Structure 1
């Protein structure tokens, strides 16, 4: 169970976005981003927030920037830090989704080479996920992007 107060607030913004309140989610994400110190903040907070903020962008270039921030922050994470926050996934479990999103951004921008690179990285790390709802969601996303890239 997630116990980190900042992650809980990020989750509230995610719920806003899932309820169709994208602008309200963007505003809340931006406020939290400033509070955590932006690029200097805790990598777990940066990764989680940036990964979610990317999903509420209307411009694919902005989406890509946020997805790149998420990946850069993930590279600084440890399993110990993730577990301290109550996150069930190990750090390795974050990469399939991060690379999936980057692949889709590059595909939308017409950079098929980079899209395929990130797709392959996502495929190479997918075994870190279980056969649960989340794992099946990411696997389905990988299949969709792979089909679009054919």
Structure 2
């Protein structure tokens, strides 16, 4: 889930708004991105479309300044992924699968738990990420997630909290 997939010909205003929020964050407007994600979460709701919840929570975590708040968003993303089906994600883009999301979602949780000093939970999610790397594509995205898993494991072994 590194790049938000584009919708091609299906219109999806929520995903369009997620892309706008992601772009704001990447342009340095983290405060504005957080406000956009918060408003989107209110719009979608905690029981809304799991694809929307998973995607927006995944990206909202990336613009948080507080790791505890980041953890809340990462947990929301994984919880929503548990409700997702391949059929639903493929309505957005034919190349997507829920299994392809899970290594990244578990990596994010492992990393935030590592930074918070909860090594047990960090190792749990790192193991779950490693167990699911077979679902990653053999492309730049897959390589990036695999490398991230390796780096997170190394930092965890070193006791690095940064």
Q: TM-score range by the shorter chain?
A: over 0.9
TM-score norm. by structure 1 comes to 0.95
The superposition leaves residues 64-110 of structure 1 with CA deviations (integer Å, 9 ceiling, x where unpaired) of 01100000000000011111122622011000000000001110111
Q: Which residue of 2 aligns with 1:123?
A: 130
Q: CA RMSD in A?
A: 1.1
- Say how many residue pairs are matched: 149
Structure 1 ranges of 4+ moved more than 4 A? none
> Residues of 1 paired with 2:28 and 2:141: CA distance?
21
Q: Which residue of 2 aligns with 1:32?
A: 40
> Residues of 2 paired with 1:16 and 1:110: CA distance?
30
TM-score norm. by structure 2 comes to 0.88
> Residues of 2 paired with 1:17 and 1:33: CA distance?
16
Q: Which residue of 2 aligns with 1:43?
A: 50
Provide structure 1 residue ranges, at least 5 long, that are not aligned to the other structure: none
Q: Which residue of 2 aligns with 1:12?
A: 20
Q: Which residue of 2 aligns with 1:135?
A: 142
How far residue 40 of structure 1 moved from its aligned partner, in angstroms, is 1.4
The structure that is helix-richer by fraction is: 1
How far residue 122 of structure 1 moved from its aligned partner, in angstroms, is 0.3
* Equivalent residue in structure 2 for 1:113, among 113, 116, 120: 120
How far residue 33 of structure 1 moved from its aligned partner, in angstroms, is 1.1
